[in-house]
Amino acid sequence: CKRKSSLREHILRRHVRVDLVEWFQCERCLYRGKTKHDLKKHKLRQHAESNSVRWFECEQCSYKSKVKYDLKKHRWRRHQLEPKQRFGCEQCSYRTQRKDHMKSHVLVRHTDARAINWFKCEQCSFKTKMKYLLKNHVLRRHTSPEHTKCFKCELCAYETKIKGDLRKHLAALHRDPESTKWLKCEHCSYKTSKSSHLKLHIVSGHTSPEDITWYKCGRCPYQAKRQDCLKSHVLKKHTTSDNIQWVKCEQCEYKGKTKCDLKRHMLNVH
pLDDT tens-place string over residues 116-166: 888 888 988 888 888 888 888 888 888 887 777 788 888 788 888 888 888
pLDDT band at 221 (very low <50, low <70, confident <90, very high): very high
pLDDT band at 222 (very low <50, low <70, confident <90, very high): very high
pLDDT tens-place string over residues 9-49: 666 666 656 566 678 888 888 888 878 888 888 888 888 88
pLDDT tens-place string over residues 246-269: 777 777 788 888 877 887 887 777
212: which residues sit within 8 A by CB, 6+ positions away? Answer: 203, 225
Query: pLDDT value at position 1?
Result: 45
